């Protein structure tokens, strides 16, 4: 097993667990929809996080091919998917939480999810900081996360929804580019 295969299997497992948390939360929300309306903000956040997890996975497939295995790299590379997992646990409420709608949960927990996404993106650059194109890539990544960060400070559901929808569209486009489908 190569260093890439070893690292990618661990990385993929962590990202897969995060994806599982989001999907199981959505399933729970569907089961409870008669008692608690789903709304549209939490599902948009779930779709965004799912797409972002896939772009992270596809990006790792590209970025980790030439990596040499070390404990330091394993630690740094595992921080991002761990943060994604923690963010994923905050997208949907736990079973039995007393909330009127999932939009209420969104506004109470969005900082944890967005914070996890932003930190994961930042941490993903730590192992490759010496590369010449990292500052430009980091700046571009943070700029593309700007609508998500701006949505943290807004209370208007429609504006936040528009920003979330823009993030979903952007994440989908990036995923399609990474997979050479666009």
Residue found by looking up tokens 């070390």 in the block: 70
Q: Is the dihedral of CA 139, 141, 143, 149 positive or negative?
A: negative
The residues, ordered by sequence, that sit 6+ positions from 120 with a Cβ below 8 Å of its Cβ are 56, 79, 80, 81, 83, 84, 87
Q: 120-152 pLDDT, tens per residue?
A: 888 877 766 666 777 777 777 777 888 888 998
- The answer on pLDDT for 85 being more than 90 is yes
Q: How far apart are CA 79 and CA 57, in angstroms?
A: 14
Question: When comparing pLDDT for 16 and 62, which is higher?
Answer: 16
Q: How far apart are CA 122 and CA 120, in angstroms?
A: 5
- The answer on pLDDT for 98 being more than 70 is yes
- The answer on pLDDT for 99 being more than 90 is no
Question: When comparing pLDDT for 133 and 37, which is higher?
Answer: 37
- Mean pLDDT, rounded, for 90-113: 88
pTM of the model: 0.86
Q: Is the dihedral of CA 147, 153, 156, 161 positive or negative?
A: positive
Q: Give residue 167's Cα distance to chain centre.
A: 11
Instruction: Confirm if 45 and 106 have CB atoms less than 8 A apart.
Output: yes
Give residue 171's pLDDT band: very low, low, confident or very high (50, 70, 90): confident
Q: How far apart are CA 46 and CA 160, in angstroms?
A: 14
- The answer on pLDDT for 180 being more than 70 is yes
pLDDT for 135:
74
Q: Which two tokens stand for residue 105?
A: 């949960």
- Mean pLDDT, rounded, for 90-115: 88
């Amino acid at each position: 097993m190569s260093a890439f295969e070893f690292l990618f299997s661990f990385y993929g497992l962590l990202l897969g667990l995060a994806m599982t948390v989001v999907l199981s939360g959505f399933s729970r929300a569907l089961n409870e929809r008669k008692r608690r309306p789903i709304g549209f903000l939490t599902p948009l956040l779930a779709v965004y996080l799912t797409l972002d997890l896939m772009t992270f996975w596809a990006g790792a497939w590209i970025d980790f091919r030439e990596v040499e295995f070390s404990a330091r790299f394993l630690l740094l590379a595992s921080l991002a998917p761990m943060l994604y997992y923690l963010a994923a646990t905050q997208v949907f409420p736990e079973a039995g939480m007393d909330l009127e709608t999932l939009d209420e949960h969104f506004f109470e927990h969005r900082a944890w999810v967005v914070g996890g996404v932003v930190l994961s993106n930042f941490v993903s650059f730590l192992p490759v900081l010496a590369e010449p194109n990292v500052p430009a890539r980091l700046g571009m990544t943070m700029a593309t996360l700007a609508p998500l960060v701006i949505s943290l400070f807004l209370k208007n559901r429609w504006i936040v929804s528009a920003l979330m929808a823009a993030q979903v569209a952007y994440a989908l486009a990036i995923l399609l580019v990474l997979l050479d489908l666009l």
